[in-house]
Structure 1
Amino acid sequence: MSKIKIAIIGYGNLGKSIETGLLQSDDMELFGVFTRRDPKTLETTTKGVSVYHLDEVENLKDRIDVAILCGGSMSDLPVQGPLIASLMNTVDGYDNHALINEYFNHMDEASKKAQKLSVVASGWDPGMFSINRILAEAILPVGETYTFWGEGVSQGHSDAIRRVSGVKHAVQYTVPIKSAIDAVKNGDMPTLSVKDKHKRICYVVAETGADLTKIEHDIKTMPNYFEPYETKVHFISHDELLKNHQGLPHGGLVIRYGQTGLNNEHHQMIQYQLKLDSNPDFTARVLLAYARAAYRLNKEGASGAKTIADIAPAYLINLSAEEIRKKLI
């Protein structure tokens, strides 16, 4: 049986993690990496990988089964997503929660016209956390759901800072507020705004001569990323960034606190937690699982955009239905 041919679109941290993740995927193989940079200057982690300029992707579309889009949600995916979806099956980890419906509609239109399938917003949040929120609220319809991220490095928010004029490099840490988590676990069912649950800590390397006051203002007022949160911006040297901020850990938890019984007298709690040593490695594994699903569903004739809520888990794993029943049910 031929392997699923995967194209990596964009070769940052996530693209590199897709490349190494494929080494653990027996039913997939890397077709190549597509970049906006000069392909001759790009060194891949594994040897012998074909590297193409992004402009070549249309000419090679018939040789690719699924493209995994590894660009940022702020400015890359809104442009690249519909373009690539008009050519081939795609998977992405679009993570701007406030604009998911808008992005979904653009991807749906493009992929339906091409009779291809696009899985959107399929990382871990949106993604794995979304599945758990759906399951928890279906099981405990009376209650409250709480999502906490971190402590860890947010790739999407770090990328958003790097798009700010005058910024050379940046890392953003999402930090959950412990008192809020404790209140939820105690069963208080508090009403929490986004500001009550998290704060954002930014470490920024500015370009020489840049206006630091303006950079800080542009970060703190960025809609859908920083504006609702308590955000602290620290300007540091490039050497300090390399020394102290090169790791990419992350994690978080989803808690559903519910009540059951005739008079809601029974208290139930569902908790799902992630502790990640490497955020991009874990995100890559989720995207690869959904790449398998995209390929299978399209082979069955499905097209258009899907989220993780639309895809049965059996499509994600490289096992037959009989093997799933025997090993996992």
Structure 2
Amino acid sequence: MMNESIRVAVVGYGNIGRFAVEALMAAPDMEVAGVVEKPSFADNVKLLDAMGIPLVTSIRELQGVQIALLCTPTRSVPDIAREILSLGINTVDCYDIHGNLADLRLELAEIARANNTVAVVSAGWDPGTDSIIRTMFQFMTPSGLSYTNFGPGMSMGHTVAVRDLPGVEDALSMTMPVGAGVHRRMVYVQLQDGASFEAIKNAIKTDPYFVKDETHVFKVADVNQLIDVGHGVDMERKGVSGSTHNQMLRFSMRINNPALTAQVMVAAARASRKQMPGAYTMIQIPVIDFMHGDPDDIIRQLV
């Protein structure tokens, strides 16, 4: 059974969904069962048709789906995950509201166990793979301070949150690292006719995505002239191993944001097949479970 191709549906065909399809097609152990999305754009239909991938409006229209990648805005994830888990299908999401994800996992765990399914929650790069690095840093130096500095780059979650506001035609939220884990949010909004810039500016600054950070909002004529999906992170920890002080740990990367998020979700889909029913964050799953191949071969190669 584990040698058969895993049938995976992609729910949402935006930035992450497009890269998820590409990552699935490149995975030797997976196949794209279909894409679930409103057929809003003819170009999407033509592109998926050319690849032989069904485009449907409900996952119930697809046959034999084992896992669903929820490539949807974060705030829609809980409802979609509840529904799909109840159908007996594993889910993988990239939910990115750090303060809420632990409670969401506990809620989805009950649904998953009741339906013999698995949910992998917050499977992106942060939360996600960065969470694994932070956990490693913590057990390597149990006492100390860690800083996660994002950017500079486009934050997809923050951008989608602004785009969803009434009166916003399009938006871009850029994350600028100040240092020591402090960030500045630079938000550029393209308004619909008649929209109040001051009202939208206030709504952004009081949104949970932005309320904890220094946030600057600007009105622009065309957001598309500004967008760059590049992003990055620098993580640092200065800590103590045993009684030895001044241990300095660092991790850094510069990435295409949606491409890496999608690739991590595909790896998490693979890992979901190896877990007992329930809901998991990435730090709860053995790292070898994200890999394709014989475990002993992977150990010989990487350990």
- Report TM bin, short chain: over 0.9
Taking only the aligned residue pairs, the percentage that are identical comes to 32
Which residue does the alignment assign to 1:232? 216
List structure 1 segments (4+ residues) > 3 angstroms apart after TM superposition.
36-42
Contact 1:89 1:294 in 2 (8 A): yes
Among 238, 258, 267, the residue aligned to 1:289 = 267
Aligned CA-pair RMSD: 1.7
Paired amino acid for 1:203: Y
SS of 2:125 mapped into structure 1 = coil
Match 2:281 to one of 299, 304, 307: 307
1:38, 1:53 within 8 Å by CA — same for their partners in 2? no
Cα deviations across residues 286-310 of structure 1 (Å, max 9, x unaligned)?
A: 000010011233xxxx101011111
Work out whether 1:259 is the aligned partner of 2:234. Answer: no
Q: 1:295 to 1:40 in 2, by over 3 A?
A: farther
Among 44, 47, 54, which residue is 2:51 paired with? Answer: 47
Counting matched residue pairs gives 298
Matched residue SS, 2:52: coil
Distance 1:115 1:126 in 2: 25
Q: TM-score scaled to structure 1, two decimals? A: 0.86
Cα deviation code 1:192-243 (max 9, x no counterpart) = xx6xx110001111111101110000001112x11111111111113xx222
Asked if 1 retains the 8 angstrom alpha-carbon contact of 2:140 and 2:241, the reply is no
On the 8 A contact 1:146/1:254 being kept in 2, the answer is: yes
Match of 2:191 in 1: 206
Counterpart CA distance in 1 for 2:230 and 2:13 is 19
Structure 1 stretches lacking a partner, 5+ long: 182-193
Distance 1:215 1:27 in 2: 45
What stretches of structure 2 of length at least 5 have no aligned partner?
Answer: none
Secondary structure, in 3 states, of the residue corresponding to 2:200? helix
Counterparts of 2:126 and 2:40, CA distance in 1: 32
Report the AA paired with residue 135 of structure 1. M
For the pair 1:115 / 2:143, whether they are aligned, the reply is no
Q: Distance in 2 between matches of 1:316 and 1:169?
A: 35
What amino acid maps onto 2:192 in structure 1?
E
What letter matches 1:254 in structure 2? Answer: M
Deviations 1:232-262 (Å, cap 9, x if unpaired)?
A: 1111113xx22232x2001112211112464
Deviation for aligned residue 1:40? 6.9
> Which of residues 228, 231, 236 is equivalent to 1:250?
231
Please tell me the residue identity of whatever aligns with 2:57. H
Aligned-partner Cα distance in 2 for 1:226–1:77: 19
Describe how 1:19-98 pairs up with structure 2 within 5 A: 19-37=21-39, 42-43=44-45, 44=47, 47-54=51-58, 57-58=59-60, 60=62, 63-74=64-75, 76-87=76-87, 88-98=89-99
How far apart, in 1, do the equivalents of 2:274 and 2:42 lie?
34
> Secondary structure of the residue that 1:83 maps to in structure 2?
helix
- Kept in 2, the 8 Å contact 1:293–1:315? The answer is yes
